[in-house]
Amino acid sequence: MSLFTLSLLLLIISLGTYFQTLTGFGLAMIVIGLTSGFELTSMPFIATVVSLISLVNCAIALPRHIHHIDWRIANTTLLGIVPSSIVGVVLLNFLNVQAASILEFLLGLIIVYSGISFALSPKQRSQESSLKSFFGIGFISGLCGGLFGMPGPPVIFHMYRQPMEIVVIRNMLLLMFSCTAFTRTFYEVITAGLPKDTLITSALAIPCVALVTLLAQRFPPPISPITMRRITFISLVLIGLGLMAGSLKAIFAFF
């Protein structure tokens, strides 16, 4: 990896860390979306790096707010997330070899879905959803986390529709993402190990993640969270559409 590529990757990671610290989500979607769009690295490589740095972000941002978590809902959702994360990693290894273009299209589709959902600011439910729905959403999110290192869209959409305080939602999302990242990383370690390049890149990114997390908590921007989310997800919609267009060209070229 060249010095320019590494510098750009660290800048993207810092941007994703900043948004995730403020909103509870965004790190994986921003980092994987931008790096894939710019073709900086391979999908499996950046997905593993994101999992490792997500653990650092959550380890710094979460401890002081652990009391805001609704453990009944969090545990139920994690029961779906953890096993399906492993299934997603297995599918990633298969799809990346057999159909990289299809994998890229799926990634773009998930980003576009997420962006449109939150740019339109969905209404909150009047009553809390059933525990079965949290388990189901957790399972789907785990698959996304294993496949793309990006469990966010399904569980974010579901959580932000619940009649909960934003601080509760934000910290539950951080907990779930950290558990997904740990599961994915642990599975890779015991089955294949982590490549040297992945470890080096993650080690270089950790100081950036730690510093940006602390700064975002201490100096939040002078704009409303709703405005920030809209800006973020409109950008993600454009990124996702670009990924889908590029992958469709490759798929049609194959046929």
What pLDDT was estimated at residue 183? 80
Q: What's the confidence (pLDDT) of residue 255?
A: 63
Range 209-235 average pLDDT:
79
Q: pLDDT band at residue 199, thresholds of 50, 70 and 90?
A: very high
Query: How far apart are alpha carbons 206 and 51 in whole angstroms?
Result: 12
The pLDDT of residue 252 is above 70: yes
Is the pLDDT assigned to residue 98 strictly greater than 60? no
Question: Can you read off the two tokens belonging to residue 166?
Answer: 């934003």
Arithmetic mean of pLDDT, 116-130:
76
pLDDT at residue 101 tops 80: no
Residue 62: pLDDT over 70? yes
* Sequence-separated (6 or more) residues with CB below 8 Å from residue 213: 17, 21, 56, 57, 60, 61
Q: Report the alpha-carbon angle 154-155-157, nearest 5.
A: 70
- Give pTM, 2 decimals: 0.77
Mean pLDDT of the region 194-213 = 92
pLDDT at residue 242 tops 70: yes
CA distance 137 to 134: 5
Output the six-digit token pair for 7: 């510098």
Residue-averaged pLDDT of the chain: 82
Q: What is the pLDDT of residue 112?
A: 84
pLDDT value of residue 19: 84
